[in-house]
Amino acid sequence: MKHIASLVTRFPILCLVLSLCLAAPFLIQLPRIQTVDNVDYFTVEGDPDVAFYQSIKDTFGEDEFFVIAFSSPELFTSPVLRMIAALTQELETIPEVREVQSLANVDYIHGEEEYFEVRPFLERIPEDAPGMAALREQALGNPLYVGNLVSADGETTALVVFPTAHEAGDGSFRKRLIKQTETVLAKHEELAGRFHLAGWTMTNFSLSQYMKSDVAVFIPVTYLFITLTIWLFFRNVRLTLLALANISVCTGTTMGCFPLLGITLNNVTTIVPPLVMALALADSVHIFAHLDKKLLGQVRSPAKAMEHILHRVITPCFLTSLTTAVGFASLAVSDIPPIKEFGYVASLGMIFEFLFSFMLLPPLMLMCRPDTIYTHQRKDIGMGAFLGRLSTVVQTHARPITIFITILILGALWAASTIRVETNLLEYFKPSSPLRQELSYIEPRLSGVGTVDISVKAGERDALRDPAKLAVIDRLQTFALTLPGVDRTMSFVDFLKDMNMSFHNEDPDFYVIPESRELVSQYLLLYDSDDMDEFITSEYDQARILIRISEHSSAGQAELIHALRAFIDQHEHDGLQIRVTGRAVQDVNTIDALVRGQVESLALAATVITFIMFLALRSFVAGALSLIPNAFPIIINFGIMGLLGIPLNTSTALISVVALGIAVDDTIHFLTEYNRKRAESLPMREALQRAILEKGTAICASSLILVIGFGVLLFSSFVPTMSFGGLSAVIMITAVVGDLIVLPAAMLSFDGKSE
């Protein structure tokens, strides 16, 4: 490492040119960075449930939908019904729309004794009050309509829009669909009032839009705060500009990897820019902290002074970059593509920030007049005085501090045991967000927009005409309706029961499964509508049960899915193959894979980083001691999560791995300096005091910078990103406490010589 320091100071122009040549191929890629208007990428690679769910969609059609709802006390009047009909027709002309279901085009089964006919529900819009009242009664008396197309009170109606199947690479599909839908709706707002839109299409698009708005905020805000921080600590314009130049090249080069690796900016990788900016600046701070005019006076050469500084910091900075890169790279074991991509790009960013901090920044500093960047650094005022008093307190009260920290850790471990593993997609958005308000409007009036599917497969053609097998489907639906969060179910059986009731002169007592296979076949011969196509195959050998849910918590969805599977396992099904599937199953599996992957990543990162620490510090004791300040912030973080009821979800699960890789950085700088002082034959107490005074300012400055880097994420519109930023910032603060208080106190306590 020291050869690099010598090379940079002897050939600064060459190193500067090489650095720019390294950065150029990546920087020219920046215009090619892509964002996507969806979050379809957030699935588990190789998950058999995902493959099975896709086969169901291939068989019955794409099940994605969104609901357009509006309310009116005059819903069943001629003007409003005509508007619904016009709106349905206009929406169906949108190229991205496969189908629209509404009161205007849904079929109605009208029956008499031993006969029924299928006709459009709005075949004719009545002009007189009695006719309109009869139409309203028909709508509210039809189980296929209530909760799906009309509310139970008859004042809210829904148009259910099914998008066409689209290529996975068409990232702007939903954006085009929603924009055209809003254009159509705008023409009818005068009569309908406000339209409310909710469903996976809207949720998916909203998630992607928040990501784009975050990118627009994160980078400029990070630049602003970092500039203020550098100025606050060093009060030097040139150092501030040099730091900004370094982090700009580091961040730009890292971002240039996105198009080269085929990675897009998404809700996870959008964290990379502020993170790399903060970490790149941390190494700059450790270099700046040694720009002492006393050193310049001793060596009388700017190049020699710079070489001395680089010799002193390059090894610990290399180790910090390496351990942080290992922390990020450990995320590559995840089965979730965006998590894996975040790990790849962030670890590359750590390589770039080390290279540019020592190959680009020093040559730029050597171009400045020494008196403009070197300062008189006094340890008896300001931060130096504070660190001196802190060291005295720690040395005087080492054992009480250690006892208090031990109690605090035990309490945090207890609180951590109460953490729930849960992701609530609804809570990803602030309560004031339009999406949450729309869901809060639609779901109580109609049905939930979440879905679980049950596949029912028979072994032979026409098997699902058998009433005994149809009874199995009916039994599953009846049980599903008893589960919390389930609002309604729909299947082929519901249509047959409606036909049977109509065939018996609309007698409600006959809203049951037809009693014979022959009667089922007769009904199907009379029924000439395609409304059942999404629930039964044309060979009548496979059926789909749709379950609409308003349960948005992954824990609640997991319980629902478990209950369905347990019910299926406990009952005979007349030879039918039954499997729970759907979007909720896919989401629950993603959460399980995420948590499992983070445990594996944390174990891998901890093992590799510990090994690196033992090798770097060349001491088993020092390596073991390094675990104390690194475990402390992570344990405290989980304790805070437990106390505040913050669940382990898609964002907070990332924190421990990222924090471990970053928190170890200052520990390396501190213990490296401590070992250097011990090598000079200083006793432990004095070596600790000198290490705190020598490295404390840089540790505090770099940690503050990281707090700012993570704190910028609090400006996000996306709640998981806010949680990640806030908790990570807390970890950076507790990491400083771990390095400057917990570690010295523990070392003195174990040494047995503290007072």
Instruction: Check pLDDT > 60 for residue 753.
Output: no
Task: Say if residue 750 is exposed, middle or buried (CB neighbours under 10 Å; 0-12, 13-18, 19+).
Answer: middle
User: For position 184, what pLDDT does the model report?
Assistant: 93
Could you tell me which of 630, 596, 620, 615 has the C-alpha nearest to residue 324?
630
Q: Which residue has the tokens 């197309």?
A: 149
pLDDT tier for residue 246 given thresholds of 50, 70 and 90: very high
User: For position 599, what pLDDT does the model report?
Assistant: 74
Contact assessment for residue 444 and residue 533, using Cβ atoms and an 8 Å cutoff: no
From residue 43, alpha-carbon distances to 53, 175, 278, 294, 599 in Å are: 12, 21, 30, 57, 18
pLDDT tier for residue 1 given thresholds of 50, 70 and 90: low
Distance, in Å, from the CA atom of 158 to the CA atom of 70, rounded to the nearest integer, reads 7
Helix (H) or strand (E) holding 479: helix 467-480
DSSP for 618-633 reads T-HHHHHHHHHHHHHH
User: For position 755, what pLDDT does the model report?
Assistant: 42
Tokens found for residue 585: 């199953």
DSSP for 362-400 reads HHHHHTS-HHHH-B---SSSHHHHHHHHHHHHHHHTHHH
Instruction: Check pLDDT > 60 for residue 745.
Output: yes
**Residue ranges covered by each domain of the chain:** 1-24+236-377, 60-204, 439-583
Q: How far is CA 734 from the centre of its chain?
A: 24
Distance, in Å, from the CA atom of 84 to the CA atom of 149, rounded to the nearest integer, reads 11
Residue 504 is given by DSSP the state B
Q: Which of 41-55, 406-420, 435-449 is the least confident region?
A: 41-55
**Helix (H, G, I), strand (E, B), or coil: what is residue 453?**
strand
Distance, in Å, from the CA atom of 133 to the CA atom of 140, rounded to the nearest integer, reads 11
Contact assessment for residue 550 and residue 447, using Cβ atoms and an 8 Å cutoff: yes
Single-letter residue type at 563: A
Contact assessment for residue 642 and residue 416, using Cβ atoms and an 8 Å cutoff: yes
Tokens found for residue 157: 């109606």
Domain 1-24+236-377: give its CATH code.
1.20.1640.10
Instruction: Please give the average per-residue pLDDT across 170-186, as a whole number.
Output: 88
Distance, in Å, from the CA atom of 250 to the CA atom of 72, rounded to the nearest integer, reads 57
From residue 538, alpha-carbon distances to 64, 430, 533, 572 in Å are: 21, 45, 8, 25
Helix (H) or strand (E) holding 703: helix 684-711
**What angle (nearest 5°) sits at the alpha carbon of residue 104, between those of residues 98 and 108?**
100
Instruction: Please give the average per-residue pLDDT across 605-624, as a whole number.
Output: 73
pLDDT tens digit string along 125-166? Answer: 888 888 899 899 889 988 888 888 999 999 999 999 999 887
Distance, in Å, from the CA atom of 732 to the CA atom of 741, rounded to the nearest integer, reads 14
Distance, in Å, from the CA atom of 162 to the CA atom of 199, rounded to the nearest integer, reads 10
Q: What is the mean pLDDT of the chain?
A: 85
pTM of the model: 0.77
Instruction: Please give the average per-residue pLDDT across 212-226, as a whole number.
Output: 79
What lies within 8 Å, CB to CB, of 459 at 6+ separation is 541, 575, 577
Beta strands in 465-570 (DSSP E): 486-490, 542-549
Instruction: Check pLDDT > 90 for residue 531.
Output: no
**Helix (H, G, I), strand (E, B), or coil: what is residue 648?**
strand
**Helix (H, G, I), strand (E, B), or coil: what is residue 356?**
helix
Instruction: Please give the average per-residue pLDDT across 305-309, as a whole number.
Output: 88
DSSP for 202-266 reads HHHHHHHHHHHHHHHHHHHHHHHHHHHHHHHHH--HHHHHHHHHHHHHHHHHHHHHHHHHT--B-
pLDDT tier for residue 380 given thresholds of 50, 70 and 90: low
Instruction: Check pLDDT > 90 for residue 596.
Output: no
Distance, in Å, from the CA atom of 520 to the CA atom of 665, rounded to the nearest integer, reads 72
From residue 325, alpha-carbon distances to 27, 70, 637 in Å are: 21, 52, 21
Distance, in Å, from the CA atom of 480 to the CA atom of 656, rounded to the nearest integer, reads 38
Contact assessment for residue 155 and residue 441, using Cβ atoms and an 8 Å cutoff: no
Strands of 486-490's sheet, edge to edge? 486-490, 542-549, 450-457, 577-581
Instruction: Please give the average per-residue pLDDT across 722-731, as a whole number.
Output: 85
Instruction: Check pLDDT > 80 for residue 59.
Output: yes
Could you tell me which of 627, 640, 663, 647 has the C-alpha nearest to residue 747?
627
Helix (H) or strand (E) holding 475: helix 467-480
User: For position 126, what pLDDT does the model report?
Assistant: 87
pLDDT tier for residue 28 given thresholds of 50, 70 and 90: very high
Contact assessment for residue 423 and residue 554, using Cβ atoms and an 8 Å cutoff: yes
pLDDT tier for residue 475 given thresholds of 50, 70 and 90: very high
Instruction: Check pLDDT > 70 for residue 65.
Output: yes
What lies within 8 Å, CB to CB, of 354 at 6+ separation is 283, 317, 318, 321
Distance, in Å, from the CA atom of 280 to the CA atom of 243, rounded to the nearest integer, reads 9
Instruction: Check pLDDT > 70 for residue 24.
Output: yes
User: For position 490, what pLDDT does the model report?
Assistant: 92
Distance, in Å, from the CA atom of 188 to the CA atom of 87, rounded to the nearest integer, reads 8
* Residue 596 phi, psi dihedral angles, 5° rounding: -60, -40
Instruction: Check pLDDT > 50 for residue 594.
Output: yes
What class does CATH assign to 439-583? alpha beta
Distance, in Å, from the CA atom of 239 to the CA atom of 118, rounded to the nearest integer, reads 80
**Helix (H, G, I), strand (E, B), or coil: what is residue 41?**
coil
From residue 628, alpha-carbon distances to 121, 136, 284, 591 in Å are: 71, 71, 26, 30
Contact assessment for residue 556 and residue 484, using Cβ atoms and an 8 Å cutoff: yes
pLDDT tier for residue 309 given thresholds of 50, 70 and 90: confident
Instruction: Check pLDDT > 90 for residue 754.
Output: no
pLDDT tens digit string along 648-657? Answer: 776 677 777 7
Beta strands in 410-495 (DSSP E): 450-457, 486-490
Instruction: Check pLDDT > 50 for residue 735.
Output: yes
What lies within 8 Å, CB to CB, of 276 at 6+ separation is 247, 250, 251, 254, 346, 349, 352, 353
More confident residue, 46 or 24: 24
Instruction: Please give the average per-residue pLDDT across 490-511, as a whole number.
Output: 88
Contact assessment for residue 238 and residue 244, using Cβ atoms and an 8 Å cutoff: no
Tokens found for residue 656: 């421990």
Distance, in Å, from the CA atom of 609 to the CA atom of 487, rounded to the nearest integer, reads 49
Q: Considering the chain, what percentage of its residues have pLDDT values greater than 90? A: 28
Distance, in Å, from the CA atom of 624 to the CA atom of 617, rounded to the nearest integer, reads 10
The partner residues of 452 in beta bridges, in order of sequence, read: 547
Contact assessment for residue 718 and residue 428, using Cβ atoms and an 8 Å cutoff: yes
